[in-house]
Chain A
Amino acid sequence: MTHNNELSRRKFLTRMWAAGGGLMAAAGAWTGWDLLRPSAASSLTAQVKTLPPQAVPATGVVEIKAARGYLTREGDQVIALSWKCPHLGCRVPWCESSQEFECPCHGSVFNRLGEYRAGPSPRNMDRLATTVVDGSLVIDPGNVTPGGPLGPETIDEPPAGPRCIGEGH
């Protein structure tokens, strides 16, 4: 007789109880986690109406505080950049003297189109979705596209002057 290999009634029931308990714990954990996941309603939903596309200058950027971002011109297009640094979420200010984005927290630097130039950031600056309504640009701050991977810059705009943040990063 191979009694030891057989699943006894007692062993079977023990396993069923254990499996039931485990299932309940897993269901509880998943429910709790799902409960805490932010709903779509908690993202920034208010559309921000800004200026007409042709009002965005070819140099420099336009800060849109309500949308937490900047408008900047890429050829004929106008793009909206999120001011949240892709590195660790600090606000990236525009530096007038050097004409680039410079993050004071950890020293990430981006050009006018939010393309990576220096520092610890793992990608380009994130972009916000824009539409044109009645001739005005409307930014949707809840619709964020992560910036592209690091690569060569597509515009030739070297730092125009001294940087706002200290060197040495």
Chain B
Amino acid sequence: MAEEPLVVEGKRVLGVVPGVPPVGDRKIPDEQESVMVWPHLLVRHAVAALAVLLLVLIVAIFFDAPLREIANPAVTPNPEKAPWYFAGLQELLSHYHPLVAGILVPGTVVLGAMALPYLDRNPDRHGRTRRVAVATFTIFLVAWIILTIIGFAFRGPDWGWVWPWNAWYGEL
């Protein structure tokens, strides 16, 4: 078996001359330069995936999935809570007619999100010309997050207002 070839930055080299490069020893990478996915991106993705899995595996040690009493069509629990990702929808439902809160609003949001790239024809990706798009998206996002948090943590029996530090009714 021949000697292992010496490889520097993915290229075989015949030899290495010691010394300092004339422009200094720190190389500033070019952001637009293309690099090999293997290993540069794969390593990062692997670490990211492992970190997320580790988080799940640790959280699962400490927090058990809930299991309430067996389903009973004769008793509606009070409060009746949807899963947390629908808590915003449920909060809307307590204020508006189901056709509006349950169908029109979520339907418009989903269809609007799908149509977004065709409505927003501004080719600019950064900066001030995107103010309208960014503001619209942010308003929807923040409104949705607030509704979700209210529905999830601030609602108690009869869908009345409770402070989560007084009584906790959130369900995961």
Contacts and interface: CB of A to CB of B under 8 A. Distances in A.
Asked whether the complex places CB atoms of A and B closer than 8 A, the reply is yes
Interface of A: 65, 68, 87-88, 90-91, 93, 104-107, 120, 122, 165-166, 168-169
17 contacts: A65-B74, A68-B74, A90-B76, A90-B80, A91-B74, A91-B76, A104-B158, A104-B159, A105-B78, A105-B80, A106-B93, A107-B158, A107-B159, A122-B98, A166-B157, A168-B161, A169-B159
Give the interface SS of chain B, mostly helix, strand, loop or mixed: loop
B156 to A, nearest CB: 9
B94 A104 contact: no
Interface residues of B, number: 17
Nearest to A168: B160
Give the interface SS of chain A, mostly helix, strand, loop or mixed: loop
Q: Top 4 nearest A-B pairs by Cβ distance?
A: A165-B158, A166-B160, A104-B78, A166-B158
Contacts of A87: 98
A105 B157 contact: no
Contacts of A65: 74
B97 to A, nearest CB: 6
B73 A68 contact: yes
A91 B98 contact: no
A88 B158 CA distance: 14
A65 B72 CA distance: 11
A148 B80 CA distance: 26
B83 interface: no
